[in-house]
Amino acid sequence: MLVGETNYTNCCQRYGGLGHNCIAHAVSSSDGGIFVTMLLQDGEWILLTQSWDWQNNNLYCHDNIEATSYFKNSPASLKEAVARVLELDGKYIIEKSKKEVENYIQARKKTVEKSLSINKEKELRELQKLQEREVIRLVTTGNGNDDLRLSNYFSSSIQVNQNYFIAGKKSTLSNFQPVNYNSTQVYFNKERIAYTDSKSTQYVIAGSIEDLCLAKIEPLVPIYRDPRRVILEQDKNIHNYTTKKVKDIEKSSFPKDMLTHQDSSQADFFDSNIYLGEDWYLIYEERANNVIYISDLAKVEPSLEDEKGKQNQEIMNVIYNLTQQYDQVEADLKEDTSYLLYLMNKQLHYFEQVGEDISYPFDNPSNKRIVSELEQQQILKNARSIKEKKNPERIMHKVTFRKGRLLSQEKTGKNR
């Protein structure tokens, strides 16, 4: 955190400086770090140079070489020694990366081959992709702030925006930039400009640009993951973990003025039934005449992009099962989320509406109006824009429904 301060390299790579985000990336991202060279003299370590390092795909880059005043005033022999250290370390990084990834792949292959999973072949293919993506094949350094004058030691350079054959395809090194943990570009000022010292020219320390892989530009698919779970807890058997997760999901899903559970105690949930998924929940209460009331339904984005479909399927399976168990389901649904899901299933004849669809503003429930069948079709037609606008007027819909024709047919078919 202090390498850029006055007592060290006295550069912009310090807290609050132009290179503030370089330091932030180095300490917060698993693909970032600080590389230093030091001289041991008379039992004392002396800092010579430091670099902000980042990795993207198979590229490992010393973005800059910032030197201390001691190093700048040192003889040429010491500078040549540091250049050779960088070269040896670059070769070591490539060799170590290859060995570690190969060891990981071999261990995972044994596990996958013993697995009874129907996706075994897919998982083995993902391991192959992982090997192509993760082994470091090129180590470079930027020339923007280069106190070592690397051009004196390394003759091979790469123009970042020039086309090269990478993995058999024409591409540029601009595809390989420092990124955050969520694969977004690291920006370094309010104008959202990526300030790096490697943005125009990079010197090759070890490896080859032709050996790079472009696969990591596409979203990564996890090889293994924990199975998604859906649990049901009822009455006084509702645990603290469940109510805490309900509050967390609600807080991430709803605007502040629509939060209802944040101040609730554990006992406030005891008359409820809670279905809890990994990233969603549904709360309902039993009423007379075999009727239930869904008092709340909320979800957040799954941690893995490809689990959105599974999340929706889990929610709908729970509601389908409830319509099979109970004669009617009553619910208050948010227009831009659960209400759209309801309309879609109504249109597909999984649900049959009972009575009127009543809309009202969340903060003024007495201001009611009936929503016609034609209006429902129009809302469904404009579903995308309604989602994007995020329901600024806080419109809710009170509906009652039961299982529709298709669900009844499916149940009859299973009985046969």
pLDDT at site 183? 45
d(CA 38, CA 78): 11
Alpha helices in 56-119, H assignment, sequence order = 69-72, 76-114
Q: Are 282 and 315 in contact (CB under 8 A)?
A: yes
Question: What is d(CA 196, CA 33) in angstroms, rounded to the nearest whole number?
Answer: 14
3-class SS of residue 246 = helix
Looking at domain 231-415, which CATH architecture does it have? Answer: 3-Layer(aba) Sandwich (3.40)
DSSP string, 335-375: TTTHHHHHHHHHHTTSEEE-S-EEEEETT-TTS-EEEPHHH
pLDDT of amino acid 15: 67
Query: Where on the phi/psi map is residue 296: left (φ > 0), alpha (ψ -120 to 50), or beta?
Result: beta
Sign of the CA dihedral with 203 first, then 206, 210, and 216 last? negative
Only one residue has tokens 């429904």, namely 401
Nearest-angstrom CA–CA distance, 194 and 199:
8
Q: What does the alpha-carbon distance between residue 345 and residue 352 come to, in Å, rounded to a whole number?
A: 9
Task: Look at residue 379 in the predicted model and tell me its pLDDT.
Answer: 95
Distance, in Å, from the CA atom of 312 to the CA atom of 308, rounded to the nearest integer, reads 6
Contacts of 53 (CB under 8 A, 6+ apart): 26, 32, 33, 34, 35, 60, 61, 62, 63
Tokens of 384: 């995308």
Classified as helix, coil or strand, 201 is strand
State which H helix or E strand residue 205 sits in. Answer: strand 201-207
pLDDT at 188: 45
For 37, residues 6+ apart whose C-beta sits below 8 A from its C-beta are 48, 49, 50, 82, 85, 86
Nearest to 314 by CA among 228, 407, 250, 411: 228
With a CB cutoff of 8 Å and minimum separation 6, the contacts of 178 are 25, 31, 32, 54, 56, 61, 63, 185, 186, 194, 196
In angstroms, the Cα distances linking 111 to 118, 228, 333 are: 14, 20, 45
Domains in the chain: boundaries: 20-217, 231-415
Q: Which residues, including other chains, have CB under 8 Å from residue 185's CB and lie 6 or more apart?
A: 177, 178, 179, 194
Q: What SS3 string covers 274-310?
A: EEECCCEEEEEEEECCCEEEEEEEEECCCCCHHHHHH
Predicted local distance difference test score (pLDDT) of residue 190: 45
Any residues with CB less than 8 A from the CB of 309 and at least 6 apart, and which?
none
- Cα 25 to chain centroid distance, Å, stands at 16
Instruction: Give the per-residue pLDDT at 367.
Output: 96
End-to-end CA distance of the chain: 70
Q: Are strands 59-62 and 138-142 parallel, antiparallel or unpaired?
A: parallel
Digit-by-digit pLDDT tens for the chain (416 residues) are: 556 665 667 676 666 676 777 777 787 777 888 899 999 999 999 999 988 888 887 889 998 888 888 988 899 999 899 999 999 999 999 999 999 888 888 888 887 777 665 567 777 777 777 777 778 999 999 887 777 787 788 888 888 888 888 777 888 887 777 765 444 445 444 444 456 778 888 899 999 888 887 654 444 445 455 678 999 999 888 998 899 999 999 999 899 989 999 999 888 998 899 999 999 999 999 999 999 999 999 999 887 766 888 898 999 999 999 999 999 999 999 999 999 999 999 998 999 999 999 999 999 999 999 999 999 999 999 998 998 898 999 999 999 999 998 766 655 555 44
User: What's the rounded Cα separation, in Å, for the pair 316 and 297?
Assistant: 11
Q: Is the pTM of this model over 0.75?
A: no
Length of the chain: 416
What is the spatial distance between Cα 244 and Cα 261, in angstroms, rounded to a whole number?
10
